[in-house]
Amino acid sequence: MKFAVQSRNDPQSNELMERAIGYLTDFGLELDEEKPDIVLSIGGDGTLLHAFHRYTHMLSEVAFVGIHTGHLGFYADWQPNDIEKLVISIAKGEYRISEYPLLEVTVNYRDSEESFTYLALNESTVKSSEVTLVMDVVLNGRRFERFRGDGLCVSTPSGSTAYNKALGGAILHPSLEALQLTEMASINNRVFRTVGSSLVLPSHHHCLLKPVKAEDFMVTVDHVQLLHKNVKSIEYRVAKEKVRFARYKAFPFWQRVHDSFIDSDLKD
Ligand code: NAP
């Protein structure tokens, strides 16, 4: 089995990375950054997002596992003290794969036939580069509303606990193949109206955002932020691809949510 390691690059994560590489190679596993079977992310969720984007071209072949040295570590199953246990489990190859849905983001341009497609593990957001964001929200080909406000956030189920949660969106279990569209400070009064609630779309639906006047937008895909010029539309759908996590022990999603947002010590 081949493995790669993504570190947050702080002293603790780098020390753990050196130990993990040493132990795993002692067990006969091969360090291969190009074609790993397992990617060990040592850091926080930000580190896992970097690892994910590094291997988006081979998601069906690779499985991720996180060791938590970040602040929250929503995606990480393991604490630094458990590194020996984790290494032995990896060496034994006894793991279960847990697959989570992803978001496909396609940006189309006015002046070109070319479009760019990205995959998001957490979410994609759209904001205007200067003024209030004004965009038509089109669901399955029908205009649903004209949005005016700070921006829009489209999240995956596992990303629903990240930016989406801060915006008041719902937390979705990742067994639901869905995307969630959440508003950022919409303008709502007698003149302008939006639905105001987050919308959860199933995998056979899609959402198109069409600029009304402005053409330049800040679009994020997870931690990556890019200015897109002359935008004709931005299309969101549940991706065909999924992210795979290697699970060496049970850590149910709702426990993960509890430990991240309520209290890290479960009391009965
Ligand atoms: P960052 O500012 O370092 O991270 C933001 C925080 O979000 C960190 O505490 C991170 O946990 C946590 N986080 C990431 N994914 C999560 C998930 N799926 N569930 C729960 N918490 C999660 O930025 P970054 O490291 O570059 O990460 C980019 C992410 O930041 C974006 O995908 C977006 O979701 C999030 N973000 C959140 C807000 C907000 O909440 N208002 C605003 C902008 C961006 P760790 O400490 O373990 O890394």
Do 210 and 90 share a structural domain? no
Q: In whole angstroms, give the CA distance from residue 97 to residue 106.
A: 28
Looking at the fold, whether 110 and 237 belong to one and the same domain comes out as: yes
- In whole angstroms, give the CA distance from residue 234 to residue 256: 32
Across the range 188-200, mean pLDDT stands at 96
Q: Is there a catalytic annotation at residue 45?
A: yes
Give the model confidence (pLDDT) of 109-167 as tens digits. Answer: 998 999 999 999 999 999 998 889 999 999 999 999 999 999 999 999 999 999 999 99
pLDDT digit string, tens, across residues 24-53? 999 999 999 999 999 999 999 999 999 999
- Provide the residue count of the chain: 268
Query: Are residues 53 and 87 part of one domain?
Result: yes
- CATH number for the domain spanning 205: value is 2.60.200.30
Residue 115: its pLDDT value, please?
97
Given 32, 37, 45, 82, the catalytic residue? 45
Pair 143, 35 in one domain: no
Q: How far is the CA of 163 from the centre of ligand 1 (A)?
A: 7
210 and 257 part of one domain: no
State in Å: Cα 166 to ligand 1 middle. 10
266 inside domain: no
Ligand 1 within 6 A of 49 CB?
A: yes
3-state secondary structure 184-232: EEECCCCCCCCCCCCEEEECCCEEEEEECCCCCEEEEECCEEEEECCEE
| pLDDT tens column, 85-98 | 999 999 998 899 99
Question: What's the whole-model pTM score?
Answer: 0.96
* Residue from 72, 221, 251 to probe ligand 1 pocket by mutation (most atoms less than 8 Å from CB): 72
Residue 199 lies in a domain: yes
**Ligand 1 atom 22: residue of nearest CA:** 162
List pLDDT tens digits, range 145-156.
999 999 999 999
State the residue range of the domain holding 8. 2-95+248-261
On whether both 161 and 229 belong to a single domain, the answer is: yes
How many separate domains does the chain show?
Answer: 2
Residue with the smallest CA separation from ligand 1 atom 36 is 163
